[in-house]
Amino acid sequence: MSTQPFNSQPIETRRKLARFNRVRRSATNYVVGGLSVLATIVVLAPLAAILVYLIFKGASSLNLAFFTQVPAPVGETGGGMANSIIGSGLILMVSSLIGVPIGIAAGVYLAEYGRGTMLGNAVRFTADVLNGVPSIVMGIAAYSLVVVPQKHFSALAGGIALAIMMVPTITRTTEEMLATVPHAIREAALGLGVPKWRTTLSVSLRTASPGIITGCMLAFARVAGETAPLLFTAFGNQFWSFKLNEPIAALPLQIYVYAISPYDEWHRLAWAGSLVLIVLIMASVTLVRIYANRGVLKGGS
């Protein structure tokens, strides 16, 4: 290849160089695009494989009794997980009511008020550490803080344990999303005489709401299938229970009990429960995502 400046080379040579550059750029584009598609397939393949296998193993066990009846006694066939489905919904509702406001409030503080302060650094460090703490440790902590003083297991204790797990993810996501909001938007609101707290609520949070909602969904999906914290807090229940101060059934707990049992009937129901759990998580996350994209949760019209 000639080392002369491009403009000083003959026209035919320049045409060949231009053609070579086009081919090289096109080839590079196709290679990078192919690698991106391959990476996407690698990410989606495990999820698709798990979902297909769960459908294969658990779909045949789904019937009306599964969604309307409580677990059958040992040795009897039939029964369902209706109380576990309701119990999981109740525990997740409690954990969301506790964890989402606390996580968002902590993220707002870190992004808007705590930058460079010792307290802000301490909160940020604590959130990062809690993100890596095993879930069973969270369950033991909730057992010591809630179950032992109450002297009994409860749905409230399970909700608190899961809420503790949700807070770090929501906190860090909220901080990062608020950091992406341009300062010019805040300055425009402040220049109009809007107080800082109102600017944070009406401008910063409103602008960053799609990312914050995504963080809340990730936290929700993470805790929805947790079993270890509920072993030390909710404990499980073979009957209907709707009270927060009593032991309560949950899908992950019931799946765990059935999976480690020696009964084929319970193994069959465990696969069905796993399928229902995955579908419920996917459905809830999808619904929130749809409403967020339509602007309902972003304050749009």
- In terms of domains, do 202 and 258 share one? yes
Q: Pick from 16, 39, 60: which residue ends a domain?
A: 60
pTM score above 0.85:
no
Q: Pick from 17, 40, 60: which residue ends a domain?
A: 60
- In terms of domains, do 121 and 242 share one? yes
Residue 286 inside a domain? The answer is: yes
Give dist(CA 175, CA 110) in Å, integer: 6
Give dist(CA 254, CA 83) in Å, integer: 10
- In terms of domains, do 102 and 74 share one? yes
Hey, how many other C-beta atoms are within 10 angstroms of the C-beta on 9?
15
CA–CA distance from 20 to each of 1, 16, 37, 119, 259 (Å)? 11, 6, 26, 58, 61
Residue 299 inside a domain? The answer is: no
Please give the tally of structural domains in the chain.
Answer: 2
- Tell me which residue range forms the domain holding 228: 62-293
Give dist(CA 291, CA 165) in Å, integer: 25
- In terms of domains, do 210 and 151 share one? yes
Give dist(CA 127, CA 48) in Å, integer: 32
pLDDT in tens, 138-165: 999 999 999 999 888 999 999 999 999 9
- In terms of domains, do 167 and 106 share one? yes
Residue 167 inside a domain? The answer is: yes
Query: What is the per-residue pLDDT for 6?
Result: 52
- In terms of domains, do 95 and 237 share one? yes
Residue 87 inside a domain? The answer is: yes
What would the two tokens of residue 212 be? 């914050």
- In terms of domains, do 102 and 11 share one? no
Closest CA to 66 of 271, 246, 243: 271
pLDDT in tens, 181-223: 888 888 888 888 888 888 888 888 888 888 888 889 889 988 9
Residue 67 inside a domain? The answer is: yes
Residue 145 inside a domain? The answer is: yes
DSSP β-bridge partners for residue 79? 71
- In terms of domains, do 234 and 114 share one? yes
Residue 1 inside a domain? The answer is: no
- pLDDT, mean over the chain: 87
Query: What is the per-residue pLDDT for 292?
Result: 67
pLDDT in tens, 6-52: 556 677 777 777 788 888 898 999 999 999 999 999 999 998 998 89
Residue 75 inside a domain? The answer is: yes
Closest CA to 85 of 77, 93, 96, 97: 93
- In terms of domains, do 167 and 208 share one? yes
- In terms of domains, do 21 and 94 share one? no
3-state SS assignment for residue 227: coil
If you average pLDDT over residues 132-136, what whole number do you get?
90
- In terms of domains, do 118 and 194 share one? yes
CATH number, domain at 212? 1.10.3720.10
- In terms of domains, do 22 and 112 share one? no
Q: Pick from 45, 60, 75: which residue ends a domain?
A: 60
